[in-house]
Amino acid sequence: MRLHRNLILTVIDALNEIFNDNLYADKVVEKSLKRDKRWGARDRKFVAETIYDIVRWKRLYNEIAGTKEHYTRPNLWKIFTVWAVLHEIKLPDWHQFEGTPERRIRGMFNDLQKDRRFRESIPDWMDELGEKELGDVWEEELKALNIKADVILRVNTLKTSKFELQKLLEQEEIETEFLPDYDSALKLVERKNVFITEAFQNGLFEVQDASSQLVAEFMQVEPGMRVIDTCAGAGGKTLHIATLMKNKGQIIAMDLYDGKLNELKKRARRNEIFNIETRVIDSSKVIKKLKETADRVLIDAPCSGLGVLRRNPDAKWKLQPEFIENIKKTQAEILDQYASMVKKGGKLVYATCSILPSENQNQVQQFLNNHKDFSFVKENIVSPSKSGYDGFYMALLERKKTEEL
């Protein structure tokens, strides 16, 4: 593989924005890929994958480079050099690579494999927290969370089938595979920009991880129900719920942010889904008005996101222990307030993209202790190491009918 200066400069500029300006990696990558219209698919792939790779292994590469977490431009070049050496890439005769100690880089890499914090490139506090909550399981989960995420599509079954979509994408030179045990999923064989395809423009699919696709199915929705998605965001799960309801009944998609709900409206139009109504949660009245009116309520709660580190590797460095403590309080408050919208005999699903029991099983148990009118039905703990996809948790709770109290 031959290194091209303009591609590396793009990577260095991107790392500067992520490490020093604290910008989100996905936004920086998106901007970086627009830097030069002449780039082909291979160039774009190099830029995106190299940025994410260096972000993912930041602590390990920083330790080998000896840059002491000072991300000056010369130090970013040193970190890039470590990446290149460890990927067996021949270094060009540029002044930035002069005197590169290739043997020492490889030797340090081997030595650091003995320490999990460096081997898996993770902050001390996060490693301690994971081990405390998950014990021996943490090792395997952490390893899985450092593997690059696959691109998974969810077929819009209102408009097409897996088989038809696969054929259409083949015509646009995009190869996909079926996933056993996932009814509406297709996996890209090779990462490509699917958003420019005619199939996407026509609303035949959305990009959604396989684990995330399990949530709507877990809710046991049926056409004609009233369903409330309380933390809908841009609506990936909302749209899936609508397809399972066959565009019948009513879905109320709620969020604190109007901008996210506007994005959901656009996606719904493209998907030709018409049973979604959006509401901004701008006061407690919005919740009170819907008291005991829903057959199903989804609380896809804000969380640490530790289950999705494979697709958001910069979260390892942005997350802080106090955030996790605060988000657990928020989760408990949301569960307590939003559960009031479930009608008697209706069901509530609490879900997170975390793998920590303190955000998952413990929250559900605490809620049940305080709400005797709800009973536990079942849960699904989705392990990254076992599933090969994102880590997720979901619990199904039922509100008892009056006579059962």
CA angle, 366 as apex, 363 and 368 as ends, to 5°? 110
Question: What is the chain's mean pLDDT, rounded?
Answer: 96
Mean pLDDT of 192-200: 94
* pLDDT, tens digit, 9 for 90 and up, residues 354-401: 999 999 999 999 999 999 999 999 999 999 999 999 999 999 999 998
pLDDT at 403: 55
What is the structure's pLDDT at 402?
A: 73
Radius of gyration of the chain (CA): 23
Q: pLDDT (tens digit, 9 = 90+) per residue, 59-117?
A: 999 999 999 999 999 999 999 999 999 999 999 999 999 999 999 999 999 999 999 99
Beta bridge partners of 280: 255
Q: Which domains does the chain have, with CATH numbers?
A: 5-121 (1.10.940), 152-207 (3.30.70.1170), 213-404 (3.40.50.150)
Provide the 3-class DSSP secondary structure of residue 284: coil
Placement of tokens 């989804």 in the chain: 298
Alpha carbon distance 315, 301 (integer Å): 17
Per-residue model confidence (pLDDT) at position 240: 98
Cβ-Cβ contacts under 8 Å for 147 (sequence gap 6 or more): 310
In tens, the pLDDT along 43-69 reads 999 999 999 999 999 999 999 999 999
Which stretches does DSSP call E strand in 353-388? 374-382
Give me the catalytic one of 194, 210, 215, 353.
Answer: 353
How far apart CA 298 and CA 255 sit, in angstroms, is: 12
Residues 6+ apart with CB under 8 A from 303: 327, 331, 352, 353, 354, 359
Query: What tens digit of pLDDT does each residue of 338-359 get?
Result: 999 999 999 999 999 999 999 9
303 carries an active-site annotation = no
Provide the token pair at 88. Answer: 């067996």
Nearest CA to 371 among 395, 352, 393? 395
Q: pLDDT tens-digit profile of 212-265?
A: 999 999 999 999 999 999 999 999 999 999 999 999 999 999 999 999 999 999
Question: 91: left (phi > 0), else alpha (psi -120 to 50), else beta?
Answer: beta
CA distances (Å), origin 329, targets 112, 208, 283, 319, 362: 37, 28, 19, 16, 12
